[in-house]
Amino acid sequence: MVSNVLELNLDKISVIIPIYNVQCFLRRCIESVINQTYQNLEIILVDDGSIDNCPFICDEYACLDNRIKVIHKKHGGVSDARNVGIESSSGDYIGFVDSDDWIENDMYEILHAKAVSLNTDITICGYHIVQKNKQHFSYFIKEDTVVSGTEGSEILLNDTMIKNYPWNKLYKKELFNHIRYPVGMNYEDIATTFKLFALSKRIAIIPDYLYYYILRDEGISQQKTFHNLYDLYKAYEYRLNDLVKILPEYKLFMFELTVSTSLLVYNLSLKEKLSIADQEKIPILISSLKEYSKMPEVKALKKLDRIRLNIITKFKILYKLLYFIYTVLSPKIAKHPSLRCRLLSLFGYLNYNKKYQRDIIQKKAIYLFGTPEHNNIGDHAIAIATKKYLKNILPDHKIIEIPENKLLIYLPGIKKNIKKNDYIVYSGGGNIGNQYQYIENIRRVVIKAFPKNKIMLFPQTIFFTDDYSGRKAFKQSKRIYSKHPNLIIVAREQYSHKILKKYFTNNKILIAPDMAMYIEQTKEGKCVREGAVICLRNDSESILKSKDRNYIKECLDKYYHKVTETDTCSYRNIINENERVLELKAKLFQFKQAEMVVTDRLHGMIFSAFTGTPCIVINNYNYKICGTYHWLRHLNYIKFLNDLSNIEKSIDQLIALDDNIEYNNEFTKQYYAKMTEELTKR
């Protein structure tokens, strides 16, 4: 262990690690800090009243490294522990590391060098999200970016490139002269990071992934309880008050977010059995709601939020009665789809008009149905490529995107407003079949709802199981599809094309590659390739057993010192339209940094193709991967395997390839051109 500070001429960095009952993770965390290439550190271990072996582990390391200072204190929460660390620090800069996470050994050397060279008050690096041993990248940025404190606050408010987390940042110590983390609440970083940004003159975001954040499902702050969301609401309220001074133009946005969260919290107060401490928060919440109802910004709230706010503040007993009726009846409503659809129609028509009608009154429209808001980044790549394709071929049309989880809500309004010459396209993928029956049911509803409009189902794999339920579902889909007079179905591989041509004779059948292949080779970002990436699925589509997965890892370990596991599904459960591009860029950058990828994910293969990354793709339970590989078989850096018997041979072959790998999608264009011809034909 290091006992002497070797670089006294450098600024001292105080690294604060709040610790509470993490004995299984703590050694890895501390080791990653004491082994930093930047030596002039003050390492402050704040034991927040741990009742496991953490206090002994802290004291053990303090004996081995004189840069370590240990503080044992009564349990007060992570904010209190951070505050104690700040008050005990003597460095020029402050960094935070959570005690169950770890960092790259050059993290603080890189952050400090950038802070000095770019003259910044806060310097931010990227991070890996580690969930169940699979790693995902956070944001993607291709070069150092410096923004003002106001600009950084705006980015932080949009919750995209910069997150509120304290731990992937290096701060000048002076920023904390009058700022501390609020004690006793979750989401403490939301309330504090914004203030730190507001005080900063210059903030840097750098394209280096240096922090490893463990995402644990059991995290208390991730649970949507009254206690947690009340803290989130209070954090938003603090931020709302700060916004008036810093970003007044964002006050309305933050007001809407704060009010909608407070209404959700109030609903939870009616649903949960609250502790005495939480019950005491209700009068404070009601008082805040009354204040909101008197503010001029209330007119900008969504209509439903205005109604709820008005009833809660003026007719509280009535609201409780309505909420009780709703919670009692909702399970019964769910059992009656027709009744549920009528209710959805009522609200859906209003929502549709508010969101879309203004756009389509004066414009020709393309309705893009069935896009994802789930966490499959491959499906989001399809959506991104589809919108790019539609903008290119019909630039004078307004694209109206309706996610699959909102289709039933917006459908009545669309039926009322759609024009005969408007286009309807349904997002592609691998879900025509009975494995994802819910999606197939929605697609049938759309096809039946618009008999007078041309509909094109973008490149799809069709797969119905060979059993009673599969055959029944196949007949239902065939009957509904065949009745539509102007339905075009695009298969994304030969087997689906053959099935569709044989059985769906009343429909126009085309073939084209997966829409994600419309995306050209990614050329963004610096690229130093290192190690291998394993990207394997964990669902019913995989044919790999546990021993197969271990064997793949063992084979790659022979060739690469770094083998990382990831997935083309994000660690986040929901990705909306505004977030998908950042998610895709981060995933592509992760693939582009790998020397090799082994995957059984269809889009794992496609992402490898257009990042020029050597890839071994393993077949799955149906034909969609081997069928899609057919489009890419001319690429010598993509190897397809039916089993693992030749995996080491394939690794050797890929390692021997020239490094100058280039991908272009010229081979796809004739098929997309045929789609364009059929879609735009009148």
Q: Which of 162, 188, 216 represents a domain boundary (last residue)?
A: 216
Going by their DSSP bridges, the two strands 202-214 and 145-148 should be labelled as antiparallel
Most confident of 145-159, 516-530, 607-621: 607-621
Is the pLDDT at 525 greater than 70? The verdict is no
* SS percent in the chain: helix, strand, coil, step 5: 50, 20, 30
Q: Are residues 210 and 231 in the same domain?
A: no
- For the chain, helix (H) and strand (E) counts, in that order, are 25, 22
**624: closest CA among 386, 433, 427?**
433
Q: Are residues 155 and 86 in the same domain?
A: yes
Please check whether residue 55 is in contact with residue 47, taking contact to mean a CB–CB distance below 8 angstroms.
yes
Is the pLDDT at 298 greater than 50? The verdict is yes
Confidence of residue 1 (pLDDT cuts 50, 70, 90): very low
In this structure, what token pair is assigned to residue 378? 């491959």
Residue 669 domain flag: no
Q: Are residues 497 and 372 in the same domain?
A: yes
Question: What distance lies between CA 650 and its chain's CA centroid?
Answer: 33
Residue type, 133: N
Least confident of 169-183, 193-207, 515-529: 515-529
pLDDT in tens, 365-390: 999 999 999 999 999 999 999 999 99
Is the pLDDT at 9 greater than 70? The verdict is no
Residue type, 419: K
Name the burial class of residue 504, with classes exposed (0-12), middle (13-18) and buried (19+) by CB atoms within 10 angstroms of its CB.
Answer: middle
Domains of the chain: total = 4
Q: Are residues 204 and 74 in the same domain?
A: yes
pLDDT in tens, 546-595: 899 999 999 999 999 999 999 999 887 888 888 899 889 989 999 999 99
Q: Are residues 512 and 550 in the same domain?
A: no
Q: Which of 216, 231, 246 represents a domain boundary (last residue)?
A: 216
Residue 679 domain flag: no
Name residue 135's beta-bridge partners. 130
Q: Are residues 443 and 512 in the same domain?
A: yes
Residue 675 domain flag: no
Q: What angle do CA 179, 181, 183 make, to 5 degrees?
A: 135
Confidence of residue 334 (pLDDT cuts 50, 70, 90): very low
CATH code of the domain in which 185 resides: 3.90.550.10
Containing structural domain, residue 621: 532-664
Is the pLDDT at 459 greater than 50? The verdict is yes
Note the pLDDT of residue 344. 46
CA 63 to each of CA 84, 418, 482: distance values in angstroms, whole numbers, following the listed order: 21, 74, 77
What is the DSSP secondary structure assignment for residue 283, as one 8-state letter? H
Q: Are residues 313 and 229 in the same domain?
A: yes
Q: Which of 216, 251, 280 represents a domain boundary (last residue)?
A: 216
Least confident of 86-95, 253-262, 317-326, 328-337: 328-337
Backbone angles phi, psi at 162, to 5 degrees: -115, 130
Note the pLDDT of residue 356. 52
Note the pLDDT of residue 474. 96
In this structure, what token pair is assigned to residue 566? 């990831």
Residue 420 domain flag: yes
Note the pLDDT of residue 359. 53
Is the pLDDT at 5 greater than 70? The verdict is no
Note the pLDDT of residue 222. 55
Q: Are residues 258 and 210 in the same domain?
A: no
Q: Are residues 430 and 495 in the same domain?
A: yes
Backbone angles phi, psi at 618, to 5 degrees: -105, 135
Note the pLDDT of residue 629. 96
Q: Are residues 204 and 59 in the same domain?
A: yes
Selected residue with higher pLDDT from 338 and 54: 54
Note the pLDDT of residue 345. 46
- % of residues, the chain, pLDDT over 70: 90
Is the pLDDT at 219 greater than 60? The verdict is no
Q: Are residues 302 and 211 in the same domain?
A: no
> What number is the average pLDDT over the span 278-292?
88
Can you list the pairs that 503-507 forms with residues at least 24 positions away whose Cβ atoms lie under 8 Å?
503/478, 504/478, 506/481, 506/482, 507/481, 507/482
State whether the Cα torsion 232-238-241-247 is positive or negative.
negative
- DSSP-H helix ranges across 400-484: 407-417, 437-449, 468-483
Please check whether residue 530 is in contact with residue 556, taking contact to mean a CB–CB distance below 8 angstroms.
no
Mean residue pLDDT across the chain: 87
CATH code of the domain in which 398 resides: 3.40.50.2300
Is the pLDDT at 330 greater than 70? The verdict is no
Note the pLDDT of residue 658. 83
Q: Are residues 289 and 418 in the same domain?
A: no
- Could you write out the DSSP letters of every residue in 132-145? TTEEEE----SS-E
Is the pLDDT at 203 greater than 80? The verdict is yes
